[in-house]
Structure 1
Amino acid sequence: MQAMRYDITLPTDYDMTNIRDRVSKTGHLMDGFTDLLFKLFLISEKQKGELYNSYSPLYVWKNSDGMSRFIFDGYFDNILASFGWQHIEIGVTSTIELGDNFIQSKFVTEVAQDILPTDTLKNFEIQEKLTDNETGKLVINNPDKWQKVSFSFYLTKPQTELRCFEILHLSKG
């Protein structure tokens, strides 16, 4: 499976209700999208203690056909029209562990780790296990940037210094 994400940084004084309203009105349009495992409509808000305001959709695709269709058949044009040209990060998933209550997740944390140069990647730890307080775990490896990004999902906002997003909507394919 593959994952993609774009992280749109918004001004500090941006009214985040604009994003909430946008997702409320259009988030369901991704429900049932071809080859989509799930899409998370994520935001972070400076006024709620995060570093900055952002809109950061995160997708996990069963295969690249649906992802290509989304990007190149006009669906991504809505993002371009609203927010301008965006860099899409694409990576390979190594862990997708979804608990029984994953669908009720309301928050997700992100941890990025550089994959340092080495003589072999054979024993590189690419998978992670779900812990007791998590509703899901997603690990994405990006060999283009040599980075491993781990996402942990929760029902309530965790007390953490990690980058944390609120999940506004979860679409399933």
Structure 2
Amino acid sequence: MIAMQYNFSLPADYDMAIIDRRIRDKGPLLDNLPGLKFKAYLTARKGNPATRSRDNLYAPFYVWHEEEAQSDFICGPGFQAVTESFGRPQVNSWIAWHAGTSADVCNAKFATREVVAIEPDQSLSEFRRKESDVATAALSRADVLASVVAFEPTRWTLVRFRLLANPPSDISASSIQIYNVGHLSLPGVD
């Protein structure tokens, strides 16, 4: 599986209702998209205490079952429409070590994402085991509806991503970005 995210930082005075409308109108178009495990349509508003964001953000997060589905999307009309509206973003991709969802994932209202550097002397097999165990265990908490951990070996980073039903209350690290979930595209949505 592959985790993927791109991010648009929008001006401080940008009317985020435009993004909310876009998500409401276009979000359901990816429900049941072949090869997609889920797409979380994420936003954060500058100054909103729930997301603690310094910027207005539109930052969808995807988990793909295979690279062909990811490639089909990036080369297709949906992504073309995004680039026509906002420009071509840098698309970050990570190889998933764990990408689990709960039966209640459709109730996600918030998300957290942390990207951390993998130290050069870090044993990857041990790190993978530890991070996968933590991601798996996170799903046993009632507030965690999806848990993803993935890495990329170009810049050697790890992403930890969670979908949550309620605003996170135990976030102290400034490296963790909190988002609102505007829509969640899933397989089997009618």
2:17 pairs with 1:7:
no
Distance apart, 1:75 and its partner CA: 2.4
2:153 pairs with 1:143:
yes
Distance apart, 1:65 and its partner CA: 1.3
Instruction: Give SS of 2:77's match.
Output: coil
Aligned to 1:112: 115
Letter in 2 for 1:139: V
Distance apart, 1:47 and its partner CA: 3.1
Using the alignment, how far apart are the partners of 1:95 and 1:170 within structure 2? 19
Q: Give the TM-score normalised by structure 2.
A: 0.85
Distance apart, 1:147 and its partner CA: 0.7
Aligned to 1:51: 54
1:76 to 62, 76, 79: 79
Using the alignment, how far apart are the partners of 1:24 and 1:117 within structure 2? 42
Instruction: Kindly report the root-mean-square deviation, in angstroms, between the aligned alpha carbons of the 2 structures.
Output: 1.5
Greater helix fraction, Structure 1 or Structure 2: 2
Aligned to 2:178: 164
Using the alignment, how far apart are the partners of 1:135 and 1:62 within structure 2? 18
- Extract unaligned runs of 5+ from structure 1: none
Distance apart, 1:95 and its partner CA: 1.5
Aligned to 1:20: 20
Alignment length, in residue pairs?
A: 173
Instruction: Give SS of 1:75's match.
Output: helix
Determine what percentage of the aligned residue pairs are the same residue: 28
Q: Give the TM-score normalised by structure 1.
A: 0.93
Using the alignment, how far apart are the partners of 1:26 and 1:73 within structure 2? 15
- Extract unaligned runs of 5+ from structure 2: none
